[in-house]
Amino acid sequence: MPVFIFIVATVVVLDQATKAWITHSFALYESVAVIPGFFNLTYLTNKGAAFGFLAGQNGAWRHLLFLVLGAVALVVIVIAWYRLRFAHRLYAISLPMIAGGALGNLIDRVRLGSVVDFLDVFVGSYHWPAFNVADSAICVGVGLFLLANIQEAKAMKTVGI
């Protein structure tokens, strides 16, 4: 459990620290080019889910839905980690990364009613939806989780299971 807590805490601290820096250093919608033509820091807020899903929907139901889903996701991730942590090393790393990202964004939803996003990657006029450290941890964690699943499936196929 100490490794789980360490990874979750590291993700949450990095996420909340970068968001605090952005909210104190930038005006909403302000953008600064870091790598011109490819990467900006842009202060945005997202009331929706990943990539702005349901952001255009109004009402307290949306906010409550995201709070409940975030809390349920955290419980499911902790249970999955407890069951899988010894099955593959990547499960022990990926699941707390996902949990830390989910918790970082949940903190924003509780405190602010929306999630702070600021990493803006683009090529020409195509912009990837803005994201943050928590979103990055979730994506990397999911990637590692899938990699572990693939490796587990190959191992089972090799032994004939």
Reference 86, options 152, 153, 17, 6; nearest CA is 152
Q: What is the mean pLDDT of the chain?
A: 89
Is the model more confident about 143 or about 65?
Answer: 143
Q: How many CA atoms lie within 13 A of 88 on its CB side?
A: 18
pLDDT per residue as tens digits for the range 94-104: 999 999 999 99
Domain locations along the chain? 2-23+41-49+57-119+129-158
pLDDT above 90 coverage of the chain, percent: 68
Q: Give the SS3 label for residue 44.
A: strand
Sheet with 115-123, strands from edge to edge, namely 31-35, 39-46, 115-123, 126-127
What pLDDT is stored for residue 41 in this prediction? Answer: 98
State the pTM of this model: 0.86
pLDDT per residue as tens digits for the range 43-62: 999 876 655 555 555 666 66
Which residues are identified as catalytic? 117, 135
